[in-house]
Amino acid sequence: MIRTVLVALAAAVFVPQAAAETVSVRMLDRVKQADANDDGVVSWAEFAAYRRIQFKRMDRDDGYVTQRDIDAIRMFLPRELEPDRMIANFDADGDGRISPDELADGPSPAFAVADSNGDRVVTAAEFKTAEAALNKKSVR
Separation between Cα atoms, residue 45 and residue 25, nearest integer Å: 22
Averaged over 1-9, what is the pLDDT? 45
pTM score above 0.85: no
Q: For the residues of 48-109, what is the DSSP string, one character each?
A: HHHHHHHHHHH--SSSSB-HHHHHHHGGGS-TT--GGGHHHHH-TT-SSSB-HHHHHHS--H
More confident position, 3 or 130: 130
Q: What percent of the chain is predicted at pLDDT more than 90? A: 58
